[in-house]
Structures are given as structure tokens and as C-alpha cells.
Amino acid sequence: MPDKFQNSADSASAPATAPYAIQPDDVVPLPSIPRGIYVGGGGTLVLRGVEGSEDVAYRNLPDASYVAVRALYVRATGTTATNLIAEA
């Protein structure tokens, strides 16, 4: 099947090429750094950015929202949002 984006430069606004489901974990980092996280079921998302030194909580996220963040970890403790998809 032809890929009309194959010659496009990768950027934050480019289509995701390898999205994957996120299983929040307090110890294990994400398998690859996403350009953002889709939140299917709203709530709180606790994460650490790639250059962060501490965790932050995105609170009161609505269903079907998008957080434009390059995260290293998505923590299980404190995360109540569900159906998380990494846009990688």
C-alpha cells in the first residue's frame, strides 16, 4: 500500500507512525518516547517528561483528550485516566 507520508519529515505535528497502548507503571519507563499521549477515558495522568526531574499530574483531563508531552514514564500511582495511547 502506498504511504504518501513516507518522505515527510518527522515532527510534533506529523502523523504517528508507531502508536502503542500505555500500561502505567511506577518503575518501568515507556518503551519509546512518544510525541504525545491520547487519553481515551478522562481523569488524572501522572508522568515524568524526558528532561524532568520530578513527576507532574495533569488533572481533570476530559475523555478523548490529547496531551502534547514527551514522557519518559507514565506512573500507575495517581493515574486514573484510562485507554492511554502513545503517539510515537
Question: How do residues 51-60 score in pLDDT, each as one tens digit?
Answer: 999 999 999 9
> SS3 of 46, please?
strand
Q: Report the pLDDT averaged over residues 24-48.
A: 97
* Residue from 26, 21, 25 nearest 86 by CA: 21
**Which residue has cell 519529515?**
9
**7, 33, 44, 74 from 85: Cα distances, Å:** 25, 12, 14, 11
Domain ranges of the chain: 20-87
Q: Between 65 and 10, whose confidence is greater?
A: 65
Q: What is the largest CA-CA distance in the chain?
A: 43
The conformational region for residue 62 under phi > 0 = left, psi -120 to 50 = alpha, else beta, is beta
